[in-house]
Structure 1
Amino acid sequence: MSVLTRSPRPPRTGVRRTRQCRAPSGGRPASSIARPSLEASGLKVIIAPDGFGGTLSAGDAAAAIAAGWRRERPDDAIVEIPLSDGGEGLLDVVVRDGDRWMASEVAGPLGRPVEAAWLLRDGHTAIIESARACGLALVPEERRNPLRTTTYGVGQLLGAAHAAGATRILVGLGGSATVDGGAGALTGLGFRITVEDGSGLKVGAEDLHRVAAADRGWCPDLDGIDVRLLSDVTTTLDRSAQVFGPQKGATPEMVDELAHALMRWADVAERDLADGTRHRDTPGAGAAGGLGFALTCGLGAQYEPGAERIATLAGFDAALVDADVVITGEGRLDETSGAGKVIGTVREHCRTAGLPLLGVVGQLGEGGPTLDDIEEAAPDGPGAEPVHEVSAAAQRLAGRR
């Protein structure tokens, strides 16, 4: 299957092919809650972590925790349900029997071709992990510059999903290398975005301050396509550059430039694509450097809490029905780990189910949600063997039961 898109100023690559493919292959308690005794053998243990900050994927973290727990409690039945809030690892978390792994060659964040996997479920629902097309992990640290990076490939993935027959598209927004306001994604999908002299806007954010007009150009007819955006981010567009720019390589001068350009783009996109509706102030509009904003303006996309929706897709609640204890985790537990994040979501589900919740985390910061017991894997930061660190922490945690 081939999907062709055109734009006034495309990068060097397009969606050249889409194909079905094979699946990618010293603790301390955090609260005064009385910790339940887990001394009985044969317990059902649910292990449901997020990824560990680029060190371990959610799946690798779940496997490491399971291995450590088994060494101490070999009679327990362990169910691994790695989770995500919409960023890196989304597809590996939600894939289930019957899903088709697809692969499309698209423009990566630097405009060079990358092969991005996505899922097609039941022939009608596509699941896209935007980080596979514009992710920070695809850009070497020395080349991170959000004035140059683009979401163009995300638009190409949306086009590929539409061409494959999807009528519902779920898009995970986390982990991007971009602050282009999603203009690149719309261009990759076929929208025509121009500057004052009528020529096409260059991809990236460097010329975004020059944007003058936008129309649907060569975009396919997407009426009736339901696009849902999965993200834990509540940042509005006006704060996107300040909040996310520095982690993507922006200097203070770049942040100011990006902030100005995003407001110029918001004026144009809301006027020309959204009938004047003000989307820039919607919580989540700043997700993935404004990608959420563009997809709401151009496609009428709707936001959904990422961690909550993904927990449902992964079958988390069903697994809790006869569980005895749940273990979660992430790279750093702090004040940002609550509402909307994986640990906060797992905690709420455990409260509803009346289940104890334990945690294995890389580091303990301040102000994180309270769990029944927590073990730090690497208090001084991840070492050379993060799998071993996390596994050993899980064993220590199990040893206290």
Structure 2
Amino acid sequence: MNILIAPDSFKESLAAIDVCQAIRSGFSQVFPNADYTLLPMADGGEGTSEVLSYALGGDWQSVVVNDPLMRPITARYLLLDNGTAVIEIAEACGLHLLTIEERNPLATSSFGVGELINDALNKGAKRIIIGLGGSATNDAGAGMLMALGMRFYDFQDNWVPQGGGQLDKLQEIDNSIFNPNIVTTTFEVACDVTNPLCGVLGASAIFAPQKGANPEQVTQLEKALNHFAMMCQRHGYSYNQHVAGAGAAGGLGFALMTFCNAQLQSGFDTVAKAVNLSQYIANADLVITGEGKLDAQTSMGKVAGGVSQLARAHHKPVIAICGSVDGLKPAQTSQFEVVMPSIQKIDTIDNVLKGAYDNVETTAVNIAAAIKLGQTIKPHS
């Protein structure tokens, strides 16, 4: 029996490869002679580089860049042998890099993301996959563009300072020293956020409060990003700010699509294509996936839903092991043969997170035992 194990990470408790190993450990106690293929998955967010590194190899590149408050830090990205770089923007401008007191999207900058891109370009990357997620910024990617050589000037021909709150000062855009390798590089943005840059569903209104902005600051950021988009259009950069995904990562989606001709793609689809998930599923007899919480968003671009969809296309049975199941109706779980939460008992959240590996392993043992029992039961003639 060929068993493919292709789960997402369980947030705050297990990396995707750890989930794979826990499931294999449990199943192999019942089916020790089965052939197991471990294929950790991701949806373009945190952990995407680790997943692609496991599946495709490559070398980690460490670079000193500026964090969201322009302080030097060491960030890393993955460089594959085929000239593809995989960059998670949270490495350079992630919310986790700031204390709660430091969070201020009026001032935070995506400059470090541009520094990572520059390094990848200088090392010969011809394709860059960028995972958007977890940013502390709301600067429409202006900081990233500055690091790539774009110059933004105010009324007095001074450089516009870093931070989303400064963009309403923009009057002139100079691309004379913009990194020339940008135009010969393919940019793929792995992201499932569909928010536009501005408006009631835009970057400022929806995401800025999560990054420390109060209502007055949200209004200021909305005005600044609107002005930035207007000035970009005036200077010939006419990408539609209302396009789905422009508001991702505080507007980094807008900058990447407008200035780097990036293509916005489903994060799961990007990863699945890169690791050739469809072929692995075609070769499997049973597919096991999972994620921390199975809920209404599972079928909206998350790993478990995506794996299930591909498994169905290949007529393969699929089992989902998750931390919890939240509010799903039977019709919503019908895409899986089995959906099994792994929490074994009522406990504190800290204990549940600490015991995640053992819980997943135990659940896998029980599912495997049920399968083996089913194989021995003979129906009455």
Q: Which of 45, 53, 56 is 1:87 aligned to?
A: 45
Report if aligned partners of 2:12, 2:353 keep a CA contact under 8 Å in 1.
Answer: no
Is 1:390 the equivalent of 2:349? no
Amino acid at match of 1:146: P
Amino acid at match of 1:167: K
Report if aligned partners of 1:375, 1:393 keep a CA contact under 8 Å in 2.
Answer: yes
Between the aligned partners of 2:312 and 2:270, the Cα distance in structure 1 is 18
Structure 2, unaligned runs of 5 or more? 372-381
Between the aligned partners of 1:147 and 1:385, the Cα distance in structure 2 is 39
Q: Shift in Å at residue 72 of structure 1?
A: 4.2
Amino acid at match of 2:264: Y
* TM-score, length basis structure 1: 0.82
Q: Shift in Å at residue 346 of structure 1?
A: 0.9
Distance 1:210 1:98, change over 3 A: same
Structure number with larger C-alpha Rg: 2
Q: Shift in Å at residue 137 of structure 1?
A: 2.8
Between the aligned partners of 1:220 and 1:146, the Cα distance in structure 2 is 26
Superposition pairs for residues 190-339 of structure 1, below 5 Å?
190-222=149-181, 223-238=183-198, 239-272=202-235, 275-339=236-300
The structure 1 segments of at least 4 consecutive aligned residues displaced by more than 6 Å after TM superposition are: none
Q: What is the percent sequence identity of the aligned residues? A: 36
Distance 1:266 1:391, change over 3 A: farther
Amino acid at match of 1:330: E
Could you say what the CA RMSD is over the residues aligned between the two structures, in angstroms? 2.3
Structure 1, unaligned runs of 5 or more? 1-42
Distance 1:123 1:355, change over 3 A: closer
Between the aligned partners of 1:69 and 1:276, the Cα distance in structure 2 is 54
Q: Shift in Å at residue 394 of structure 1?
A: 3.0
Amino acid at match of 1:291: L
- Name the counterpart of 1:353: 314
Q: Shift in Å at residue 367 of structure 1?
A: 4.3
- Name the counterpart of 1:180: 139
Is 1:362 the equivalent of 2:362? no
Amino acid at match of 1:134: C
Is 1:44 the equivalent of 2:5? no
Q: Which of 376, 390, 400 is 2:341 aligned to?
A: 376
Amino acid at match of 2:370: R
Between the aligned partners of 1:297 and 1:157, the Cα distance in structure 2 is 19
* Greater alpha carbon shift after TM alignment, 391-400 vs 128-137: 391-400
Distance 1:226 1:317, change over 3 A: same
Distance 1:52 1:105, change over 3 A: same
Report if aligned partners of 2:44, 2:270 keep a CA contact under 8 Å in 1.
Answer: no
**What SS does structure 2 have at the residue aligned with 1:335?**
coil
Q: Shift in Å at residue 266 of structure 1?
A: 1.5
Q: Which of 106, 112, 133 is 1:153 aligned to?
A: 112
Q: Which of 168, 176, 189 is 2:148 aligned to?
A: 189
- Name the counterpart of 2:28: 70
**What SS does structure 2 have at the residue aligned with 1:45?**
strand
Between the aligned partners of 1:383 and 1:97, the Cα distance in structure 2 is 29
Report if aligned partners of 1:375, 1:396 keep a CA contact under 8 Å in 2.
Answer: no
Distance 1:399 1:265, change over 3 A: farther
Q: Which of 89, 99, 105 is 1:130 aligned to?
A: 89
Amino acid at match of 2:184: G
Q: Shift in Å at residue 196 of structure 1?
A: 3.1
Between the aligned partners of 1:330 and 1:68, the Cα distance in structure 2 is 17
Amino acid at match of 2:25: A
Q: Shift in Å at residue 253 of structure 1?
A: 3.5
Between the aligned partners of 1:98 and 1:333, the Cα distance in structure 2 is 30
The structure carrying a bigger helix percent of its residues is 2
Q: How many residue pairs end up in the alignment?
A: 357
Q: Shift in Å at residue 341 of structure 1?
A: 2.1
Amino acid at match of 2:358: H
Task: Work out which structure has the larger RCO, using CA pairs closer than 8 Å and 6 or more positions apart in sequence.
Answer: 1
Between the aligned partners of 1:60 and 1:384, the Cα distance in structure 2 is 13
Q: Shift in Å at residue 310 of structure 1?
A: 0.6
Between the aligned partners of 1:60 and 1:140, the Cα distance in structure 2 is 28
Amino acid at match of 1:353: H
